Amino acid sequence: MAEDPARPLRQLAASGACGLDEVGRGALAGPLVAAAVVLPSGFHHPLLRDSKQLSARQRETIEPLIRQEALAVQVIAIEAALIDSRGVGWANRIAFERLIEEVAAPWYLADGNLALRTGRRYRSVVGGDRLVPAISAASIVAKVFRDRLMGDLHPHFPHYGWAGNKGYGTPHHLGAIASYGICPHHRRSFIHRPQPGLFDQVAIAPSR
């Protein structure tokens, strides 16, 4: 149920609203990760802003504080295979809808402009990660969660450099795909074929 757009955003944000944001939409590998956060009234911190405006160290500093102080925190990951089969827009929408079902709040403020299928009151907010503290917090939680996941995958597929590029299409990552092919964590639908037979070559993680 989309919320009345005439109601001031500041009023909604101050009413215990749950902030929703995602990371990883444009990555070539790894999941899309979305988070939901409900902040207590009056929560402030100088690092509470859009995760893209923070360094990795700054995100790692504030993320545990958010988890400690938040009234609710939930994270969901949509794997690459589902993104390939259903699309990244679907993945983003279904992640938000599942989070809304799992986290109780009077309102839900979702970053972006998605139309969500839910009976609960929500508003999509373009640029919400810069405007709404709860969405900023969700962006930080989602980013830290996904970065750690990609770091955990890195030792299994070290040639892709995921500890640094987090699965995004950097020159090093693209070069490694051209040299080694793809692995099960890559999104086939996102990768253009730089050479014939690329998708016939699938990199397998070494057994440990």
pLDDT > 80? residue 196: no
Average pLDDT for the chain: 89
Summarised one tens digit per residue, pLDDT across range 63-80 is 999 999 999 999 999 999
Tokens (6 digits) for 198? 């690329």
How far is Cα 50 from Cα 139, in angstroms, rounded to an integer? 7
In which band, very low, low, confident or very high, does the pLDDT at 16 lie, cut at 50, 70 and 90?
confident
Paired residues of 111 in beta bridges:
125
Secondary structure class of 2 (helix, strand, coil):
strand
Instruction: Report the run of H or E that residue 1 belongs to, with start and end.
Output: none
The stretch 42-50 carries a mean pLDDT of 91
**Token digits for 17?**
């609203």
Q: pLDDT by residue (tens digit) across 142-176? A: 999 999 999 999 999 999 999 999 999 999 999 99
Instruction: Grade residue 98 by pLDDT with cuts at 50, 70 and 90.
Output: very high
